[in-house]
């Protein structure tokens, strides 16, 4: 590919300036969005650290390094990457059985795997994810976000409930007054001031764990660099790489749809790998795209550039190290209200409206429900996407299989019968094809017209071979006509070569 030649004027102007440098409104939006996300990241990162069985600082360091690194090397602007529950669940057994050093080594190796997978084009597999699976992914995400808040609303002091209600009311009505400041930030500040000024005793961010007081220091994983270590770490690293890429690419696709923009999924895959390698060397637990925080950043706060992602990570460390005592006093009710609002905004309510369900094919609705059920049952978005996609393929195969049809027309003189086959011939539809012919009573000459059909696979060629064989045993000839070029190519290549041994 040739390098475009820039005009002298373009050379003088230099590279295009980011939108946040040329527009103060964009800058304000990005800065405030980054601050809101940073506040929301703190309790989440601490919670995921507990799941992984590590110190809370490990999750906070991972969120910091992931966000800052992905802001530079990622493919999807405004998407938030940090420590996540899915990754924590994958690596928790490794930390429990072998220790923290092995966990860090797995994070680094997972990053290497993600770079390799990204370079091999794994991102292109996203085009095979059907829309019904994407809708199920979004809806299950909303359900999981809400379910994650339920523990914060059970067995708590009664003031928590009016505080959550007040936070939701602020986020609903404050944008009607002004959108200069994000409503979630207003809600967090107002509820914090109320609880501190009134001395209301409710759970706070500080109750989740101690915040770090210094920046992370880079270093190598504390493990023996041997083959045994590699074989121990590799399975966990590969699982982490796959889960992380699945969630990140699905989130990137979701943000693409929300913002009506396109992003490089290959760059995102490689960027996730780079971010995890950096995170591992800084002693973090690794991570991937955070869907809830991304929705706060993009949908609720209106961020659109990499600056918000970078600032989310930077503000996170500033809040922990410089303003730790203040942040520790934020009531969890304020953050729960923000996440409940995100859950409500994320759910695709149109997909479950009675009018939509009446018009939508049953198979499409089934795929969406299967995806939601699997995600909610396993708390793993990647499992839901895989199972949903497989279900969609089965539904599609059954639907297309029914399209294949065979009609017979016998010449007036009775010497020839023409079977006209229509539809797509593949493993599902070709299984019934052999039984659609009348071998005993047909005349000696049989013509199979495939001009309205398409041969897709070896199963279809084997079925045609079986039909010819059955007629040949009765001394009758078969002529196959009307094959289009791709069908003729696969039929010529495989015909006569598929007999069993």
pLDDT tens readout for residues 66-87? 999 999 999 999 999 999 877 8
Which tens digit of pLDDT belongs to each residue from 347-384?
888 888 888 888 888 888 999 999 999 988 887 777 88
Residue 66: predicted pLDDT: 96
Residue, of 64 and 131, whose pLDDT is higher: 64
**Of residues 369 and 129, more confidently modeled:** 369
Count the neighbouring beta carbons within 10 Å of the beta carbon of residue 322.
11
pLDDT value at position 5? Answer: 46
In degrees and rounded to multiples of 5, residue 410 shows phi and psi of: -100, 135
103 pLDDT above the threshold of 90: yes
Q: Report the range of poorest mean pLDDT among 89-98, 268-277, 303-312.
A: 89-98
Say how many C-beta atoms besides its own lie within 10 A of residue 441's C-beta.
7
Confidence of residue 294 (pLDDT cuts 50, 70, 90): very high
| Backbone phi and psi for residue 496, each to the nearest 5 degrees, phi listed first | 85, -5
Burial of 383 (0-12, 13-18, 19+ CB in 10 A): middle
Q: What percentage of residues in the chain have a pLDDT greater than 70?
A: 95
pLDDT given for residue 10 in this prediction: 46
The candidate with the shortest Cα–Cα distance to 146, out of 331, 327, 387, 372, is: 372
Contacts of 187-190 spanning 24+ positions with Cβ under 8 A: 187/334, 187/337, 187/338, 188/36, 188/39, 188/330, 188/334, 188/335, 188/338, 190/166
pLDDT at 43 (0 to 100): 82
Q: How does the average pLDDT of the chain come out, rounded?
A: 86
Residue 340 has a pLDDT of: 87
- As a whole number of angstroms, the distance between CA 210 and CA 208 comes to 7
Per the model's pLDDT, the better-predicted residue between 43 and 167 turns out to be 167
Lowest mean pLDDT among 199-203, 304-308, 398-402, 466-470: 398-402
Specify the residue for token string 């899915």: 86
Q: Is the pLDDT of residue 55 over 80?
A: yes
Q: How confident is the model at residue 12 (pLDDT cuts 50, 70, 90)?
A: very low
User: What length does the chain have?
Assistant: 501
Residue 398 has pLDDT above 80, yes or no: no
Mean pLDDT of 315-329: 90
Distances, alpha carbon 485 to alpha carbons 232, 321, 454, 459, 492, in Å: 50, 68, 10, 18, 10
- pLDDT at position 402: 67
| Among 291, 307, 8, 312, residue whose Cα is nearest residue 134 | 291
Residue 288 scores a pLDDT above 90:
yes
Q: What is the pLDDT of residues 329-349, one digit of tens each?
A: 889 898 888 888 878 887 888
Which range of 112-116, 127-131, 458-462, 485-489 scores highest in mean pLDDT? It is 112-116
Q: 478 pairs with which residues across the strands?
A: 446
Q: What token pair was written down for 280?
A: 């591992």
Q: Which band of pLDDT confidence, cut at 50, 70 and 90, is reported for residue 313?
A: very high
Helix, strand, coil proportions of the chain in percent (round to 5)?
65, 10, 25
Please give the pLDDT value at position 315.
Answer: 94
Residue 120 has pLDDT above 80, yes or no: yes
State the Cα–Cα distance between residues 143 and 145, nearest whole angstrom.
Answer: 5
Higher pLDDT, 269 or 494: 269
The residue-averaged pLDDT of 290-301 equals: 88
Sign of CA dihedral 273, 274, 277, 280: negative
* pTM score, whole prediction: 0.73
pLDDT for residue 286 is more than 90: yes
What's the pLDDT band for 213 if we cut at 50, 70, 90? Answer: confident
**Cα gap 153→310, rounded to integer Å:** 31
* Predicted local confidence at residue 403, as pLDDT: 65
- Would you say 218 and 285 are in contact if contact means Cβ atoms under 8 Å apart? no
Cα separation, 84 vs 69, in Å, equals: 16
- pLDDT greater than 80 at residue 306: yes
Look at residue 501 and tell me whether its pLDDT is greater than 60: no
Grade residue 269 by pLDDT with cuts at 50, 70 and 90. Answer: very high
């Amino acid at each position: 590919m040739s390098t475009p030649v820039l005009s002298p004027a373009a050379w003088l102007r230099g590279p295009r300036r980011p939108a946040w440098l040329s527009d103060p409104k964009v800058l304000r939006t990005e800065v405030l969005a980054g601050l809101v996300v940073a506040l929301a990241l703190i309790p989440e990162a601490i919670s995921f650290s507990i799941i992984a069985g590590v110190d809370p600082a490990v999750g906070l360091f991972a969120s910091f390094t992931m966000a800052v690194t992905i802001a530079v090397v990622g493919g999807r602007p405004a998407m938030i990457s940090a420590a996540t529950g899915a990754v924590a669940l994958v690596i928790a057994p490794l930390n429990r059985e072998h220790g923290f050093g092995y966990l860090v080594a797995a994070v680094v190796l997972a990053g290497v795997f993600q770079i390799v997978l990204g370079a091999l084009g794994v991102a292109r597999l996203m085009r095979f994810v059907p829309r019904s699976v994407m809708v199920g992914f979004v809806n299950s995400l909303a359900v999981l976000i809400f379910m994650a808040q339920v523990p914060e609303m059970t067995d708590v002091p009664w003031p928590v409930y009016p505080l959550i209600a007040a936070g939701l009311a602020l986020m609903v009505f404050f944008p009607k007054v002004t959108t200069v400041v994000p409503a979630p930030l207003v809600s967090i500040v107002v509820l914090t001031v109320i609880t501190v000024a009134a001395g209301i005793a409710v759970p706070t961010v500080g109750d989740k764990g101690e915040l770090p007081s210094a920046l992370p220091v880079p270093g190598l994983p504390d493990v023996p660099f041997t083959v045994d270590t590699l074989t121990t770490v590799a399975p966990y690293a590969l699982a982490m790489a796959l889960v992380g890429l699945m969630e990140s690419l699905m989130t990137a696709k979701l943000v693409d749809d929300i913002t009506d923009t396109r992003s490089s999924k290959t760059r995102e895959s490689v960027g996730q790998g780079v971010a995890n390698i950096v995170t591992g060397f800084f002693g973090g637990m690794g991570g991937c795209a955070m869907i809830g925080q991304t929705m706060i950043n993009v949908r609720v706060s209106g961020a659109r550039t990499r600056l918000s992602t970078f600032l989310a990570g930077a503000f996170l460390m500033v809040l922990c190290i410089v303003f730790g005592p203040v942040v520790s006093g934020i009531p969890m009710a304020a953050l729960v209200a923000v996440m409940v609002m995100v859950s409500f905004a994320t759910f695709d309510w149109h997909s479950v409206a009675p009018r939509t369900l009446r018009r939508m094919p049953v198979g499409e609705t089934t795929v969406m429900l299967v995806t939601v059920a699997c995600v909610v049952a396993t708390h793993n978005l990647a499992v839901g996407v895989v199972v949903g996609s497989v279900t969609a393929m089965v539904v599609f195969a059954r639907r297309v299989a029914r399209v294949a049809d065979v009609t017979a027309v016998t010449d007036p003189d009775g010497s020839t019968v023409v079977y006209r086959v229509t539809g797509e011939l593949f493993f599902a539809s070709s299984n019934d094809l052999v039984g659609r012919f009348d071998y005993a009573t047909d005349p000696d000459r049989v013509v199979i017209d495939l001009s309205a059909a398409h041969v897709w696979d070896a199963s279809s060629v084997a079925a045609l071979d079986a039909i010819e064989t059955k007629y040949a045993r009765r001394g009758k000839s078969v002529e196959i006509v009307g094959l289009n070029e791709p069908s003729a190519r696969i039929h010529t290549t495989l015909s006569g070569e598929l007999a069993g041994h």
